[in-house]
Amino acid sequence: MIPFSPPKIYQEIIDEVVDTLKSGWITTGPKTKQLEKDLSAYCAVPKTLCVNSATFGMEMILRWFDVKEGDEVILPAYTYCSTANVVVHCGAKPVMVDCLDDFSINLEEVKKKVNSRTKAIIPVDIGGYPCDYDAIKKFIKSKEVKDLFKPEGENQTKLGRPLLMTDAAHSLGALYNGLKSGTQADVSVFSFHAVKNLTTGEGGAIAMNFPEPFEHDRIYQSLNIKSLHGQSKDALAKTGKGAWKYDVVEAGYKGNMTDILASLGLVELKRYDSETIPRRKEIFDQYTKAFENEAWAQLPTYKKEDRESSYHLYLLRIKGITEAQRDQIIQEIFDQEVSVNVHYRPLPLLTQYKNMGYKMENYPVAFNNYSREITLPVYYDLTDDQVETVCMAVKNAVKKIIE
């Protein structure tokens, strides 16, 4: 069976983890702090905080921005549940909008939903392909939106408009106008989950790029405190002579990354642009070449003049089929010993959000994309022969079901 997305693990990573285990620092320590510095340099952002998941990172940012009951946060209906769950956790209302044909958030629909209760907008880089950030930023910074905005608290008053937070779980290394993902929004949150391009097993990072007069060192310190129970010093800060004494300044959370996890990221980030991204691009190009002449194939967009994907997910769509036919095709592919997936079931199809009153018929493009989508395996160790096997399995399955 060809797996869908096994993690990239090799001897240098294993050695780095062993080094951590022998170092005496297995929780948040020097390697986590080094990974934060390396990520800031890689993304060209002022400050990065590593956390235990992208989900936690997004929720902590919303709480830092004082998002609460009565507030609204706009996000696409086409995304993983975590994008909306964090809004619910804060007591706010997720306001869903439809997506475009390329899976990204539909800005024209966003414009219809913004009101005085809107505190944040969360675009999602589905599959690693960046949204149209120039257009989003032009709108969110417009006089129309600023005049609608009703700030509460220091951070909202200082920003003077809704927060722009990218769910960049898929897009580490993606490019927009030549700049790495992380610079396009006020804050971007990456995921290092096991199936991501760069994995730390579990984990994530908050890349900060706030405008003036925000002070990134101060924000970092505030978020670091929130991620460690509200404790004024982390474990590393308490290692100095007589530095044991600490305070708890707020009822914080437990969301820090550990040095064991950071070890994987430190090694892999060094090879990310030279090995990981190029190999994933090769696989994307192989799939495109294999399917570009098939009348039934709708190929994903992953590179344009102004943007380029991180090559995380290859989102193949089959033209003119129903959701049931798509599911049959997937079963036929699995029967040929090839693993595929679907990214994602739109939020209004999920029981949690159905019960909150969201209706799938209000998001027709999202459903159309989902109902015909099959995600093909993409990972560093996938061989050319295996790519060919995947392609044949897909072609055979489609032929059997719809031809």
Give me the CATH number covering residue 289: 3.90.1150.10
- Does residue 277 share a domain with residue 144? no
What is the pLDDT confidence band of residue 28, given thresholds at 50, 70 and 90? Answer: very high
CATH number for the domain harbouring residue 192: 3.40.640.10
Output the pLDDT for position 12. 97
**Whole-angstrom Cα distance, residue 319 to residue 378?**
22
Asked if residue 194 is part of any domain, the answer here is: yes
How many distinct structural domains can be found in the chain?
Answer: 2
- Which strands sit side by side in the sheet containing 314-318, from one edge to the other? 297-298, 314-318, 373-376
- Does residue 245 share a domain with residue 312? no
- Does residue 205 share a domain with residue 110? yes
Bridge partners, 163 (sequence order): 120
Check pLDDT > 90 for residue 403.
no
**In the predicted model, what is the mean pLDDT of the chain?**
96
Output the pLDDT for position 253. 95
Count the residues in the chain: 403
What is the pLDDT confidence band of residue 396, given thresholds at 50, 70 and 90? Answer: very high
What is the pLDDT confidence band of residue 241, given thresholds at 50, 70 and 90? Answer: confident
Asked whether the beta carbons of 207 and 219 are under 8 A apart, the reply is: no
- Does residue 194 share a domain with residue 312? no
What is the pLDDT confidence band of residue 314, given thresholds at 50, 70 and 90? Answer: very high
- Does residue 280 share a domain with residue 247? no
- Does residue 254 share a domain with residue 279? no
**Whole-angstrom Cα distance, residue 301 to residue 79?**
17
What does the block give as tokens for 204?
């994530």
- Does residue 102 share a domain with residue 28? yes
Asked if residue 93 is part of any domain, the answer here is: yes
Output the pLDDT for position 353. 98
- Does residue 296 share a domain with residue 237? no
Check pLDDT > 90 for residue 69.
yes
Using the 3D structure, point to which of 263, 287, 313 is the last residue of a domain. 263
Check pLDDT > 90 for residue 257.
yes
Question: What predicted TM-score, i.e. pTM, was given to this entire model?
Answer: 0.97
The pLDDT tens digits of the residues spanning 219-239 come to 999 999 999 999 987 777 767
- Does residue 227 share a domain with residue 307? no
What is the pLDDT confidence band of residue 119, given thresholds at 50, 70 and 90? Answer: very high
Asked if residue 58 is part of any domain, the answer here is: yes
Give percent of the chain above pLDDT 70. 100
**What beta strand segments (E) does 234-351 contain?**
297-298, 303-304, 307-308, 314-318
Using the 3D structure, point to which of 234, 263, 292 is the last residue of a domain. 263
Domain containing 164: what range? 11-263
Bridge partners, 280 (sequence order): none
Asked if residue 324 is part of any domain, the answer here is: yes
Asked if residue 289 is part of any domain, the answer here is: yes
Output the pLDDT for position 90. 98
The pLDDT tens digits of the residues spanning 48-66 come to 999 999 999 999 999 999 9
Output the pLDDT for position 236. 74
Asked if residue 286 is part of any domain, the answer here is: yes
Asked if residue 251 is part of any domain, the answer here is: yes
Omega cis (within 30) before 213: yes
Check pLDDT > 80 for residue 211.
yes
The pLDDT tens digits of the residues spanning 369-387 come to 999 999 999 999 999 999 9
Check pLDDT > 80 for residue 128.
yes
Using the 3D structure, point to which of 263, 295, 328 is the last residue of a domain. 263
Q: Which residues, including other chains, have CB under 8 Å from residue 202's CB and lie 6 or more apart?
A: 52, 53, 192, 193, 194, 261
Asked whether the beta carbons of 75 and 69 are under 8 A apart, the reply is: no
Asked whether the beta carbons of 51 and 57 are under 8 A apart, the reply is: yes
Output the pLDDT for position 103. 98
- Does residue 306 share a domain with residue 258? no
Output the pLDDT for position 235. 74
- Does residue 200 share a domain with residue 66? yes
- Does residue 251 share a domain with residue 298? no
Q: Which of 274, 381, 268 is nearest to 15 (CA)?
A: 268
Asked if residue 5 is part of any domain, the answer here is: no
**Mean pLDDT throughout 332-350?**
98
Check pLDDT > 80 for residue 112.
yes
**Whole-angstrom Cα distance, residue 211 to residue 348?**
34
Measure CA 192 to chain center.
9
**Whole-angstrom Cα distance, residue 52 to residue 68?**
23
